[in-house]
Structure 1
């Protein structure tokens, strides 16, 4: 296994930022985007690939069609209408979305087109009920600076967001329509060469330019990064979708560069092997594996699936060959198979294992008529799918051998790796939208956009510091967080100290998340209500974290429930005085030994009993007063 050094590969990276716009309606209808999991409408579709106007099929569309999925859609009339169901033509383009996209283009010094032509981009994974996504090219060119480096802009598009995937159930994919049609801008950068650790800075800088407009949405799912990765000798660009966190970017780029270079090494070894494939190399071995101890194979047989053995002449060791850690031909095959919803595939270099024993392998080799120099795959799949899957496996191995790196669209995983998503779309993917006329951009609209270019990020941070008396670190955290608009709403509605509000939103909630709690359970209206209760004296500062913790762990849904479940109630001063006196009386020996330093251990005792019922500052004052009285009396 070789040592991997990314610096020697000549890695080029391009970013595609997808940012939802903060409008009150969707791009082509009047529906308000409401995040909901309540659905009163359900319908299903079976999407198919169609030829483009040039009579060509898009390869990604054909590949998706081969999965034979049924799409089930769930809708709520409050957040979607007949437009999202593809039962009604699109309405006029939302003016606010158009104006915001022009401001963003102007901020990035991009050349805006005077006539904008809506297009249809073929999408047949089910995320669009129409089978296409409406998109329009707003501008090209432009740039922004990150420290001393200028990053070029390739294009800026205004388009519809896709439906939200709710999960899969066998051959059925489920989507919710509340997100479908939300306007978003897609900003594609020119490819650039930087160190992996610098990519996060570039994405962050572009995100800050967007947030400076105060016209984009914040929060989980409102901004998504795709990254295009290529290496010097690869001659292909691989698109990796779904990078949710900026911290993932460096890992994703490093892994994808390693994978591409590893595939070139695998390709070189495959070219040295005399291997061809024909129909005789695949045989039904279901009966042979009837008594196999592999749980995967036995589960497949119980579902009446076929077990097929596929021979690969002269390829012993190739499926397990690993030029770099985690990069193998066998892994590429497994990813492809999983794309079709099939979990059962074994290759010769990982067996015996997983319940497949030596005797099973010996019997298989006899049937396949192969020897120790040959490799094989064992595939378990439904009969109607198995031929298609095997064809795709053979095509992929042949492509790796002859061309090197397959031109894929890939998906980022949580651990920073990438996995096969679908083949890269071709030019046949895009065609004109016939339901919407061209959109003319007037001189007045361009002037308004130029006049509304937002302040720079640095100036925005200074404004925050001055307006709310925040320190630099807290100002930066707040501006980059998903809670910025909520912070402004709370500080406008209440007189709670802005520093405390910002600290709770940017620190307390984040720390609770790090402890495994779910911030999605904490609704904005409950956060706002908590600070209102604080201002009204119904709770103390110390009880805010207790309330949020109780809601984020799922024990409560509202602040009132959390207060009841955690026994949070403020007590009057006389009762508090009495409790503090009692604590001092019970701990006379500590006071005799430590004098006024006894405030430390006594505060710990008091906070166990009084946490959330009185402020720490008040408890400290009362304890200190009683400690001094005790010392004076003694």
Structure 2
């Protein structure tokens, strides 16, 4: 469990960057659709190598420069919907109007000031996530605010950007990306560094998320919204934590980063007291010539080498935990992996992994390590081993200074790993292919907030608070409002759209095949009495499994049409007479068992209340 710190005393400062995809018909700079494809649908591929360029001031961004040092080929999966703009073989078109209008709506909700003229900029990105080597981005509004229970949080700015490619997998040559996601309109909302606790960070993110969904114009589902969190403490450094997928993780991400910085500062103090130093990397392959370690043996058998670096005064500290299940040595390993190595071994964890006590002693002797020292090694091909051990030595140098500023990748367990240095202003320069936009806010209407929608559903439609919130925060509230306007009972509509669909999904029914028209027609048939409520699940299952059917055709196919009361009575009487002995013995105590039998005999074609009334009458006549 993460230690509970006095965040005020530590000087915690945090801010958020929320990235939300907009649900527009077409992409930001072309007319391609914004739907996600399966990789197997790709009909062609092409490859690129990307290199950093200088900004308009002649500078090269440090993060882009480090990224370019990793020699990788980037492969892109294209589709029948991919255009030349996405392939970077044609200039971008004008900014999508629908995306700009939605962005202006969001600006209103965040109480932001919209700029007089929107200019498109290029942001250098050479990690392969964009075919161009840069991302197009534009400032639309600034200086807004949101409320939290711990005080207001300022909104620094909001940008409209193009989404990056979807990363599919690592390959032997580099990385494979999919072009389906590239260019989807994306808003980036950055808060001011006003957040002072993990709980406030989560609350602020939830508030912004609610405002975004209130527009009804944002995409939903995994990967459509990402949160970056900037965290620092007074004696530490600003850390950008990228790619937090779940709101539930934000407070834990902040807590774990605070712990990491506190631990790194404590380690730096200890290293200072010990007079620590980092030696020069050297080749120690001879030490492991006869090793039985699988990792080391595999590298050597492939013509590799073992490199090492002496970490004077580091004994016991390389293996010190700084986040749950992550140690200072893990930080060193993250840097080594950036250069293609599988990881590192260090003497705080050895002997282990097939490395013997004798080999550890020989390793220490080879680099001149004393008992208070540690040694880190990398086993890989000679070039990779040299680059990786240099990276380890560099990170060990910064460990003596404290907390290095950097960008880190959020892990699924709310910890993080090194990604790259913090980017700077040198990665931005103007986009000359897209004309500026003069935004017009005069016709922009502020949408109803989801919190207000919940209250309206309770007051106007009689929904209980829980169901009202489910509908308002769900993806089908526009359909709910449409069918209610057509006269469908609100409780019926809400129950089907939230509870029934959830239950069917849990039963592996492919509810994703159900269209709004399927659901609308089903609700109208049930509300009108043409299909009993007990037949809803069977009808929706039939439509989900045969989406080309209409609701009316599915009713006929599944024989779900309602029956008359006379037919109900006839079926009930048959069940009662068949179970005469049980009724004579138990009286009304037999009701529950016979009710299930009656419903089964009618196969969901009759309303449960009607069946219940008839069954009670028939039993009472016999007791």
More moved, 594-603 vs 252-261: 594-603
Deviation at 1:128, TM superposition (A): 0.8
Deviation at 1:539, TM superposition (A): 7.5
Residue 492 (structure 2) aligned to one of 492, 500, 505: 500
More moved, 236-245 vs 500-509: 500-509
After TM superposition, the structure 1 = structure 2 runs for residues 316-327 of structure 1, keeping only pairs within 5 Å, are 316-322=315-321, 326=325
Contact 2:256 2:414 in 1 (8 A): yes
After TM superposition, the structure 1 = structure 2 runs for residues 316-395 of structure 1, keeping only pairs within 5 Å, are 316-322=315-321, 326=325, 328-395=327-394
Deviation at 1:462, TM superposition (A): 3.8
Give unpaired runs (5+ residues) of structure 2: none
Deviation at 1:542, TM superposition (A): 5.2
Distance 2:256 2:469 in 1: 30
Q: 1:325 to 1:88 in 2, by over 3 A?
A: closer
After TM superposition, the structure 1 = structure 2 runs for residues 61-76 of structure 1, keeping only pairs within 5 Å, are 61-76=64-79
Residue 447 (structure 1) aligned to one of 438, 442, 445: 442
**Which secondary structure state, in structure 2, belongs to the residue aligned with residue 116 of structure 1?**
coil
Alignment RMSD:
3.7
2:604 counterpart of 1:614: yes
Contact 2:341 2:388 in 1 (8 A): no
Deviation at 1:120, TM superposition (A): 0.6
Q: 1:625 to 1:508 in 2, by over 3 A?
A: closer
Q: 1:89 to 1:43 in 2, by over 3 A?
A: same
Match for residue 30 of structure 2? 29
Residue 48 (structure 1) aligned to one of 48, 51, 69: 51
Deviation at 1:614, TM superposition (A): 0.7
After TM superposition, the structure 1 = structure 2 runs for residues 6-21 of structure 1, keeping only pairs within 5 Å, are 6-7=6-7, 8-21=9-22
Distance 1:328 1:602 in 2: 64
Distance 1:158 1:24 in 2: 16
**Which secondary structure state, in structure 2, belongs to the residue aligned with residue 158 of structure 1?**
strand
Deviation at 1:368, TM superposition (A): 3.6
2:131 counterpart of 1:129: yes
Match for residue 5 of structure 1? 5
Q: Give the TM-score normalised by the residue count of structure 2.
A: 0.86
Deviation at 1:630, TM superposition (A): 4.2
Distance 2:598 2:296 in 1: 62
2:255 counterpart of 1:263: no
Distance 2:531 2:300 in 1: 61
Once the two structures are superposed, what CA deviation does each residue of 1:353-396 show, in whole Å capped at 9, x if it has no partner?
33333344234334444343321223233433222222221111
Deviation at 1:230, TM superposition (A): 1.5
Once the two structures are superposed, what CA deviation does each residue of 1:408-453 show, in whole Å capped at 9, x if it has no partner?
2122222222222222112211111122233334xxx13223xx22
Contact 1:49 1:65 in 2 (8 A): yes
Q: 1:370 to 1:265 in 2, by over 3 A?
A: same
User: How many equivalent residue pairs?
Assistant: 611
Match for residue 403 of structure 2? 405
More moved, 567-576 vs 426-435: 567-576
Distance 1:137 1:415 in 2: 33
Q: 1:440 to 1:625 in 2, by over 3 A?
A: closer
Q: 1:103 to 1:604 in 2, by over 3 A?
A: same
Match for residue 633 of structure 1? 622
Contact 1:2 1:323 in 2 (8 A): no
Contact 2:154 2:191 in 1 (8 A): yes
Q: 1:420 to 1:316 in 2, by over 3 A?
A: same
Residue 119 (structure 1) aligned to one of 121, 125, 129: 121
Match for residue 224 of structure 2? 222
Distance 2:542 2:369 in 1: 62
More moved, 128-137 vs 474-483: 474-483
**Which secondary structure state, in structure 1, belongs to the residue aligned with residue 127 of structure 2?**
coil
Distance 1:144 1:626 in 2: 58
Match for residue 475 of structure 1? 468
Deviation at 1:523, TM superposition (A): 2.2
More moved, 214-223 vs 59-68: 214-223
**Which secondary structure state, in structure 1, belongs to the residue aligned with residue 278 of structure 2?**
coil
Deviation at 1:512, TM superposition (A): 7.0
**Which secondary structure state, in structure 2, belongs to the residue aligned with residue 121 of structure 1?**
strand
Contact 2:334 2:343 in 1 (8 A): no
Q: 1:503 to 1:286 in 2, by over 3 A?
A: farther
Q: 1:255 to 1:479 in 2, by over 3 A?
A: same
